[in-house]
Amino acid sequence: MFFLKQFIYALLSTVGFAVFFNIPKDAVFISSLSGAIGWTVYLVSKSTFSSPIAGTFLAAVSVGLLGEFMAKRFRKPATIFIIPGIVPLVPGAGMYYTMLAIIEKDFTNAANLGSEAIFIALSIAIGVIIPSSVMRAIVKQK
Amino acid 37: pLDDT? 97
Confidence at residue 33, expressed as pLDDT on a 0 to 100 scale = 95
Tally of CA atoms within 13 A in the half-sphere of 55 that contains its CB: 20
Helix (H) or strand (E) holding 44: helix 28-49
Alpha-carbon span 106 to 5, nearest angstrom: 35
State pTM to two decimals. 0.90
Query: Domain total for the chain?
Result: 1
* CA-based R_g, the chain, Å: 16
Binned at pLDDT 50, 70 and 90, residue 142 comes out as: low
Average pLDDT along the chain = 94
Measure the CA–CA gap between 89 and 1, rounded to whole angstroms.
Answer: 21
Dihedral (CA of 78, 83, 88, 91) sign: positive
Q: Give residue 129's domain range.
A: 1-141
Cβ-based neighbour number of residue 140 at 10 Å: 7
Backbone φ and ψ of 24, nearest 5°: -55, 140
Report the candidate in 59, 68, 49, 135 with the shortest Cα–Cα distance to residue 91.
59
Reduced to 3 states, what is the DSSP secondary structure of residue 122? helix
Q: What is the mean pLDDT of residues 36-44?
A: 97
Signed CA dihedral, 69, 75, 79, 84: sign only = negative
State the pLDDT at residue 141.
78
CA angle (47 as vertex; 44, 49 as ends), nearest 5: 105
